[in-house]
Structure 1
């Protein structure tokens, strides 16, 4: 077995071409370096260094070894001191009904444009502005009554909405107005109704018909199960409604008379430090395009989707 410490001595000898200088390079005594040179000569069966006019010169074999030894030392250094660069992460706070639409698209986006970035969806909202300011969040998709200086807030165009119900729901059998939906169970998802100053919320509560019985559930999937098994009506932005109806075999409809369904409003919120970052700008653009997908026909027609 070869002593790899000899590789360091060989590297120093080839570099310095002088036993004394090589000894200083590897922090050995001159006698110890001379003994190491002797062992190297035995291994290679070559003098490696030969004296010429009071100086040492490399033998032809030693000259060929220079590049290989330098490459070996560099690779060994990478093994012991080189650490993989830490993975970057992009954290996005958003409502769970939009996470259903966006998570797959955003994961694919980062795989293509920034493979070292891990996408971390954060469902719901808690202390959003503080997390954006400290870097724990990169972007939020929601609404806020007020944004402090240092933040950008880009409102997306109003998004059409749809009602979601079970397949045999009474609302599908006749003309019903939006305000009349309050006779059915209304579902509130999580803390979407928290609109305190400086907080971020998802805007769904503004879509609910007022005046009827309301049940608060923790997430969109629980809401969908209740819609399957009760007379509940859930009002969602059209893309989310169509996705949920397809996934849970529900129906979507638009009230056929009276005032139109209120549109869904949502904004992108981010800290100014990321305003000119190209990857962040790409994420914002992608979110806007996918959230705005699913534009529906005029509000006088009835849509059914399974």
Structure 2
């Protein structure tokens, strides 16, 4: 028998007949009319080459062949109903798994602390892995399953096949060591460009502030380029360098070292922070829970800064 020619709906009718021994009751159980159920029974008899259920004074009685089939068919119907067609569930309290989140090091600072607090309470055996990739590699990582979620500024993911959800909007701040006397708290554009800059450019990523300067034809005096924002904690103290960084980084840095903020001489572009996931995970219960947690914990109102 070629399984490709078998209508699995017939097995549902067979299972109902085997349990209820009545065409009318089987029809009611599977949601078919009595004539449609009788027609399905006729097709089953043809398929198996057996009468299967014979009408007697005591009702429809199964043949020996039907009795042999009853157990396996019921198991198949139950498996399809409960394991294949039933929406999978995800219980974070019982889950033992790891989720990989694409985010730059600014994301590790801004997003993970409050998420970890919730995990300790709600999902003690769920682990997170932060992964920093060039923006153009993020799409492939989400598509292949190497990562479940991307959180941050990912303009390359704003395309078909990927869902996105806004968390908050922020901007840039210029910071310097509190003892840096070479720069004023307010500078002209000329003074700003002539100052000694340290620039943080994570591998394969650029900032919209860099793009703004490039579009306007402005060139800073860059003395040092770094790959990680937290290196500023050891670079800025005692130096004459200034750094223009996302506002969350400025807030995180000033929690550890004494800095002062310098007014930018041009209006910085906004940074729209979002989370992204691939369409194949849109209905996945685990991913729904994960992105729901990130959104609930990390979304902010307008002008709200990095939480303590």
How high is the TM-score relative to the length of structure 1?
0.56
Find the counterpart in structure 2 of residue 159 from structure 1.
170
Moved over 6 A (4+): none
Find the counterpart in structure 1 of residue 221 from structure 2.
213
* 1:91 and 1:120 in contact (8 A); partners too: yes
Find the counterpart in structure 2 of residue 260 from structure 1.
267
**1:169 has 2:202 as partner:** no
Give the paired residue count. Answer: 203
* 1:239 and 1:293 in contact (8 A); partners too: no
- Between the aligned partners of 1:207 and 1:238, the Cα distance in structure 2 is 17
Find the counterpart in structure 2 of residue 240 from structure 1.
249
- Residues 40-90 of structure 1: CA deviation (Å, up to 9, x unaligned): xxxxxxxxxxxxxxxxxxxxxxxxxxxxxxxxxxxxxxxxxxxxx882112
Q: Please identify the structure whose Cα radius of gyration is greater.
A: 1
Structure 2 residues not aligned, in runs of 5+: 1-93
Find the counterpart in structure 1 of residue 305 from structure 2.
294
Find the counterpart in structure 2 of residue 275 from structure 1.
282
Give the C-alpha shift of residue 157 in structure 1.
Answer: 4.7
- Between the aligned partners of 1:95 and 1:260, the Cα distance in structure 2 is 24
3-state SS, counterpart of residue 154 of structure 2: strand
Structure 1 residues not aligned, in runs of 5+: 1-84, 196-200, 296-306
**1:125 has 2:134 as partner:** yes
3-state SS, counterpart of residue 275 of structure 2: strand
**1:226 has 2:235 as partner:** yes
3-state SS, counterpart of residue 216 of structure 1: strand
* 2:164 and 2:275 in contact (8 A); partners too: yes
Equivalent residues in 2 for 1:99-138, closer than 5 Å? 99-125=108-134, 127-138=137-148
Give the C-alpha shift of residue 229 in structure 1.
Answer: 3.8
- Between the aligned partners of 1:229 and 1:124, the Cα distance in structure 2 is 32
* 1:163 and 1:234 in contact (8 A); partners too: yes
Give the C-alpha shift of residue 163 in structure 1.
Answer: 1.2
